Amino acid sequence: MKPLLLTNEYPPNVYGGAGIHVQYLSRELAKLCDVEVRCFGEQLEESGNPVVRGSAVDTSDYTAPKPLQSVFSALQRCLDFNTEKIDADVVHLHTWYSHFGGILAHMNYGLPLVLTVHSLEPLRPWKREQLGGGYDFTLWLEKTAIEMADAVIAVSHETKTDILRLFDVPEEKVPVIYNGIDPDEYQPNFNPDVLRRHGIDPAIPFVLFVGRITRQKGIVHLVNAIQHLEPGTQVVLCAGAPDTPEIAAEMERAVEAARNGFDGSIIWIQEMLPDNEKINLYSHARVFCTPSIYEPFGIINLEAMACETPVVASAVGGMKEIILPGETGLLVPLAQQMESPFEAIHPNVFAQDLAHSINELLRDPARCEAMGRAGRERVLSTFSWAEIAKETLALYKSVSS
C-alpha cells in the first residue's frame, strides 16, 4: 500500500492545522508503508520516506484580479501533481487547494480517492472577502470532490454531522478519525529568556492566543474581551498571516483600542514562531484561549494541553470533543449569542463571557495546574498520531480492496 498525499501546506510552509496534520500523519504512515507527499512549494526529498515533491508556480505574469490568483495558482499546481507520473495505490486530499489534483488522479489514473475534511467552505462565508468570485468555485470544487470520494474523513463527530447535512454522501463513507499530537515534542518546557525576548514578563501570569488572523479564529472577540480582564493581566497574542488587508486593519484598530482602556499589558507577536518557542509560550501561559467561531477540530488546543496549560475555548465544533469542561479547561457557549454560525448578534456578550472564564482561571493557579495535568493525560490517552496512522492505513486498504 502506497498513499499519495496532496496538500497545500507541508514543512517548511505550514501555517495552519491542516499542514500540521499532514506533517505528522505522513511521518507516522512512513513507519508503516511507503508514502509520497506532493505539496505547494519547492520542497524536494526523494531519498527518504516520505518522498516529498513540491510544486512552485510563477504568478508574476498573472493579470487576473488578485483575489483569483491563489485559486488559479492552486489549479496549476494540481495539474503539475498529475503530469508527473503517479505510482500510488490511493490518493489522499487535504483542503480545497488540493481537490482538483485528487479529482484528476481519481479519474485519469483510476485511484481510490480519500479526502480529509479540515474545514468546510459553506461554513466559511467570510472567505469571499479573500477569494472574491473564487469562493463560488471553491464551493463547487469541494462539493464535487467530497461527493466523488470513496471515503471522507471527518476530524470530529460534529464535522461528520456537517458533512452529512451539506453533501450527498452515504454515512458509511464518513469515518471519524481525530487529529493528534506528538507528546514527546509538545511537553512542558520552560525558558524565561524566550518570554523576555518577546517583551513578556515571566513573573506575571499571561493569557495566550496562537493562530492566524482570520474571522474563523475569532481573535477579534478575544481582543474585545481584554477590557473585561483582571487589571494587571498580560495578554500575549501570537497572531500573524492575516487573510486580507481589511482584517489586518481591523485587528490593528481593535488592539489599539484595547491598549487604550486596559490596565495591563498586551504583547502582539506578529509572526509565526518556531515550534520550540511556541512550546515555551504554551508552557509558561496561565491560560490558553481559543475564541474560534468555527473550528472542526482545533489541533492548537492539543498543543496547549500537551504543555499542561488549561484551555478556555468557544463551545463549537471539535473543541467540544477535545476539552472536558471543568477538567481540562472551560467552554464558553456561543450558539445562543448567534443568529447563524457566522454573525454574532451580541459580540460584546461573547467577549464578556470569554473574559469571565479567563478571569475564573487566572484567579485560581492551583486549579490551572490541576487542569493542565489532566489535559496532558487526556492528550496521551486519546490523541496519538501513531494510532491515527494505523486507522488511516486501514481505511486506505478498505477503499482499495
Q: Give residue-wise pLDDT tens across range 198-217.
A: 999 999 999 999 998 998 89
Q: DSSP string of 23-75?
A: HHHHHHHTTTS--EEEEESS-EE-SSSSEEEEE----TT--S-HHHHHHHHHH
The answer, yes or no, to whether residue 339 has pLDDT greater than 80, is: no
Cβ–Cβ < 8 Å for 284, 306 = no
According to the model, what pLDDT value does residue 338 have? 44
The answer, yes or no, to whether residue 93 has pLDDT greater than 90, is: yes
Q: Which of the listed CATH numbers 2.60.40.10, 2.40.50.140, 3.90.226.30, 3.40.50.2000 matches domain 3-180+384-400? A: 3.40.50.2000
Q: What is the largest CA-CA distance in the chain?
A: 63
The answer, yes or no, to whether residue 346 has pLDDT greater than 60, is: no
**CATH 3.40.50.2000 domain residues, the chain:** 3-180+384-400, 192-382
In whole numbers, what is the pLDDT of the chain averaged over residues?
94
According to the model, what pLDDT value does residue 199 have? 97
Note the CATH number of domain 192-382: 3.40.50.2000
The answer, yes or no, to whether residue 335 has pLDDT greater than 70, is: no
The three three-digit cell numbers of residue 284, written as one number: 509558561
- pLDDT tens digits for range 378-401: 999 999 899 999 999 999 999 998
- pLDDT tens digits for range 105-131: 999 999 999 999 999 999 998 899 889
Q: DSSP string of 128-194?
A: HHHHTTHHHHHHHHHHHHHHH-SEEEESSHHHHHHHHHHS---GGG--B----B-TTTSS----HHH
